[in-house]
Amino acid sequence: MVFPFTRTVSSPDETKKLASEFSEIINPGIVVVLNGELGSGKTFFVKEICKNWGITNVSSPSFAIVNNYSNSRSVYHFDFYRIKKKEELFDIGFNDYINNKDAVIFIEWGNLINEILPKERIQVNIKIIDDLKRKFVFEKLS
């Protein structure tokens, strides 16, 4: 996968295949920001990536703000959807999480508090085309 990279998927199975491919290029220390409207498949995509690392207990962190998972990789999974102020993130130790080079960090709805995201990250924008079809656009920012 060479960045920038775009792929349109037409089914959950195609999304799973894309997640599997993406999981192979992600190393600890990488921050992956996923943006897209409600129902676009951000959490589904993260779940499928994590399955490739032997992590099967992935759920949306909407109410918890961050979920921690580990197996062959350590993962921090954030959801900024319900965050009102960036200070809420700092109160839970966001800087410690984001600077952990031993974990992969996923952030859903990162565009809502863009100013605290690290400059170096992979950004995944997901656009709903129809009920099953999604357009994924991957960019590596630095």
pLDDT at position 114, please?
Answer: 86
Q: 56: domain CATH number?
A: 3.40.50.300
pLDDT at position 137, please?
Answer: 98
| Calpha distance 86→61 (Å, rounded) | 16
Element (H, E) at 21: helix 12-23
- Would you place residue 103 in the very low, low, confident or very high pLDDT band (cuts 50, 70, 90)? very high
pLDDT at position 5, please?
Answer: 93
φ/ψ region of 114 (left if φ > 0, alpha if ψ in -120 to 50, else beta) reads alpha
Alpha helices in 24-93 (DSSP H): 42-51, 86-91
Question: Considering its fold, how many domains does the chain have in total?
Answer: 1
Query: pTM score, two decimals?
Result: 0.93
Torsions phi, psi of 45, nearest 5? -65, -45
Domain that holds residue 57: 5-141
Q: What is the pLDDT of residues 110-126, one digit of tens each?
A: 998 888 999 999 999 99
Cα angle, residue 108 at apex, residues 73 and 53 outer, rounded to 5°: 20
